[in-house]
Structure 1
């Protein structure tokens, strides 16, 4: 069986601190994991970045490479962006690619790479009119958006297993 590559991307929200366990779960499911973070998420995990690179066997990325540099990762078979903050979801839906993570997931839509996201947004921001428009835009573009209860941002209740199961389903169709 050939190895499948999963781009696991994360924004700065409390479930981020479970990322090592999520990587291990994805690896147990047969994925080669490449971890990408928003700049704030990278700052939150600064002391763990070297260990996460060892765990994945790939460099952890949070910045675009320089022009002419070779890509450090193999092409993805699927993408999981979780947790996805209000800013990340809206930037992605609007095509505002100022960060590495948002740029890659925006391109994933255009390349037809199966993509799953799990927003992690508090109740007040869920009620902002742009958020639902962004979710619908992403769904319309083929992204599987697992959007449960507002405030599902508590690390203990974040649906990581549901997210990995969804990646398995969309990745199997790739």
Structure 2
């Protein structure tokens, strides 16, 4: 265990298949990872070995204690069209969205890796939501090369290829720029 807590929020897209790599990379970079999947991400996680990283789903009941320490940082890998737009609009109707909205409100350092096909990324809400998140201080990392704030859409049929080429080091570079 370290003294730095990282929430890894995972949405349902091909890049979710690399969550176990993210848990390992987090530990290698001195973070204690907590995985917070959307419902759509759950099938992507089913066959992955996440080690002993806690996977936090659903809201807790009033009699349950908090399940995580406060986050020092958040990585949203991948973030889909639906979740990105809901987050930017302040919708907190699921545990992952509540986590993301709270991170914005508390100014917790956050890196998000958008993963949307060209037809969804062409919707006007997408560009507006990206702008809101940038304004709020979220670092947006391109899933193709990790570049900051240049998010290229995923060409239909290439999601698995993009996921295989993704490097978690890109996320940690943005979270630990001085290291």
TM-score (norm 1): 0.87
Equivalent in the alignment of 1:131: 126
Tell me, yes or no, if structure 1 residue 150 matches structure 2 residue 153.
yes
Q: Tell me, in whole angstroms, the C-alpha distance in 2 between the residues paired with 1:28 and 1:160.
A: 11
Shift of 1:161: 2.2
- The answer as to whether partners of 1:42 and 1:62 remain within 8 angstroms in 2 is no
> Cα RMSD over matched residues?
2.0
1:113-155 Cα shifts (integer Å, max 9, x gaps): 1111110011111111000100000111111122432107431
Shift of 1:2: 5.3
The correspondence of residues 84-103 of structure 1 with structure 2, limited to 5 A, is 84-103=79-98
Alignment partner of 2:62 out of 60, 67, 73: 67
Q: 1:14 to 1:2 in 2, by over 3 A?
A: closer
- The answer as to whether partners of 2:25 and 2:168 remain within 8 angstroms in 1 is no
Q: Tell me, in whole angstroms, the C-alpha distance in 1 between the residues paired with 2:38 and 2:61.
A: 17
Q: How many residues align?
A: 166
* Unaligned ranges ≥5, structure 1: none
Q: Tell me, in whole angstroms, the C-alpha distance in 1 between the residues paired with 2:112 and 2:75.
A: 6
- The answer as to whether partners of 2:114 and 2:141 remain within 8 angstroms in 1 is yes
Equivalent in the alignment of 1:10: 10
Shift of 1:169: 3.0
Q: Tell me, in whole angstroms, the C-alpha distance in 1 between the residues paired with 2:80 and 2:12.
A: 7
